[in-house]
Amino acid sequence: LAPKLLRGKKLLITAGPTFEPIDPVRGITNHSSGKMGFAIARAAAEAGADVTLVAGPVHLATPRGVQRIDVQSAQQMYDAVLPQAPHHHAFIAAAAVADWRPAQTHEHKLKKVEGGANLAGTAPTIAMAENPDILAAVANLPRPPYCVGFAAESEKLAEYAEAKRRRKGIPLIIANLGPATFGRDDNALLLIDEHGQRELPEAGGRADKLSLARALIADLSKRL
């Protein structure tokens, strides 16, 4: 990869899962490892970009030269991203953001035995509220950065991904090809824009996420 393909460009990237608290000790999350988003941040920094990485709870080292902001919930990720977005050339939404959160976060741990009463057999119901769609919100800014979304579909991949691209109003969506990619070091990607599709790796098969990230950054550099 030519070292300075993205010199002078500012990239904002989200990565990892979100954690939506139920009470002080419990919450709802997902299996996103953050590896793809962190690999993209690393590849972008290698290419000379000024990179801000907004990360959900993950166990990954910050790539060299990347400015990292740690968050837990989707709302915190939204609050970190939205004010930053207008100052960036591109926004890459690689995070697996929870669509819903518990409507209420209990101040104290939910107990099975409460005030002497045994609540066994009376499982609580957790009411859910919708989270903001960070990517759609950024894409709807008056002067949005170039927006890239990800799509993890279990069927009709290209069709659902293209529908998602249009619905969110973004120029590029990246679908994860093949079986569950969560936590793995390799992946295969399908890039879909208004003109058509492109597979990475170009030769087919799978590649490690860093190689894919570098190929993606090379592709992105032509779009910015």
Q: How deeply is 108 buried, as exposed, middle or buried, from its count of CB atoms within 10 A (0-12, 13-18, 19+)?
A: exposed
Check whether 17 is labelled as a binding-site residue: no
Eight-class DSSP state of 140: T
Query: Rounded CA gap, 121 and 76, in Å?
Result: 35
Eight-class DSSP state of 20: E
16 binds ligand C5P (CB under 6 A): no
95 binds ligand C5P (CB under 6 A): yes
Could you please report the per-residue DSSP string of 32-47? Answer: --SHHHHHHHHHHHHT
144 binds ligand C5P (CB under 6 A): no
Q: How deeply is 203 buried, as exposed, middle or buried, from its count of CB atoms within 10 A (0-12, 13-18, 19+)?
A: exposed
Nearer residue to ligand C5P within complex by CB, 49 or 97: 97
85 binds ligand C5P (CB under 6 A): no
187 binds ligand C5P (CB under 6 A): no
161 binds ligand C5P (CB under 6 A): no
> What distances in angstroms separate CA 206 from CA 42, 181, 200, one per listed residue?
19, 11, 8
Binding mask 98-117 for ligand C5P (x = CB under 6 A): -x------------------
Question: Which residues are registered as beta bridge partners of 100?
Answer: 130
Question: Which residues are registered as beta bridge partners of 118?
Answer: 113
One of 41, 135, 192, 212 touching ligand C5P (CB under 6 A)? 135
Stretch touching ligand C5P by CB under 6 A, among 21-29, 43-51, 131-139, 179-187: 131-139
User: Tokens 């207008």 sit at which residue?
Assistant: 86
One of 49, 149, 176, 206 touching ligand C5P (CB under 6 A)? 149
Residue 163 has which token pair?
């529908």
131 binds ligand C5P (CB under 6 A): yes
Q: Which amino acid does the sequence have at 167?
A: R
One of 51, 55, 74, 191 touching ligand C5P (CB under 6 A)? 74
For residue 131, indicate whether it is catalytic. Answer: no
Check whether 135 is labelled as a binding-site residue: yes
Binding residues for CTP: 99, 109, 132-135, 150, 164, 168
Active site residues: 30
Q: Which residues bind ligand C5P (CB under 6 A)?
A: 14, 74, 93, 95, 97, 99, 131, 133-135, 149-151, 164
